[in-house]
Amino acid sequence: IFDQQMHVSHVVEYSRDITLRKIEEKEKEKLIQTLNHLSTTDSLTGLFNRRALNDMLGHEINRASRSAADLSLIICDVDLFKHINDTYGHTAGDRALMAVSEALRRSLRKSDILGRYGGDEFMIILPETSLAGAQSLAEKVRAAVEGLELELPGDKRTRLTLSIGVASCCMPEDNLDTLVSLADAALYSSKEAGRNRISVMKRKEPVAG
């Protein structure tokens, strides 16, 4: 406020307590983060879920196509999982999935993307990894799970194993569906060949290992 000589004679201050609003904003931000986490995370294993994996794989395919980089994909599932579920119950099945998830986590590199693709099926996205490199990593994963022993009701135990399919890209025409189809076909080849093994699906024929 100015006096008649246009000198400042008084100052008026206005303040408002926004503490509550800030708290509400932080709570809203936390809720959004929680919902985002839930929408991309498998509740049992804590891994990425199918939705998140598809988004990430699509992104990595586009990136690999633009930069002419290697990209490989592993799809694997737990052998005879239905038998464990049907015979010993879903609790035993859940424990099997959690044990496999932890073994996969320990076997992978920081750059690899791991998730539960659905049921007893897991997907591993391997950016900047050749088909030969993916085969080598798949063998590491297979061996890690083969060493697991699951305790079952009635003082019984069973060993867990994986069937694994490996594929790689990228050609300009490649997309998520073509790469997943190749890895799925390789996985089917492993199961048909007796399980607990790796198959590599190239564009013309699978090679069992």
Catalytically active residues, by annotation:
120
Report DSSP letters for 121-168, one per residue.
EEEEEEET--HHHHHHHHHHHHHHHHT-EEEETTTEEEE--EEEEEEE
The answer to whether the beta carbons of residues 164 and 198 sit under 8 Å apart is: yes
**Cα 125 from Cα 73, distance rounded (Å):** 5
**Cα 202 from Cα 187, distance rounded (Å):** 12
**Cα 77 from Cα 116, distance rounded (Å):** 10
The answer to whether the beta carbons of residues 202 and 181 sit under 8 Å apart is: no
How big is the chain, counted in residues? 209
The token pair at 39 is 């929408």
**Cα 188 from Cα 206, distance rounded (Å):** 10
- 3-state DSSP helix/strand/coil % of the chain, to nearest 5: 45, 25, 30
The token pair at 133 is 């490199």
- Determine the distance from the C-alpha atom of residue 57 to the mean position of all C-alpha atoms in its chain, rounded to a whole number: 10
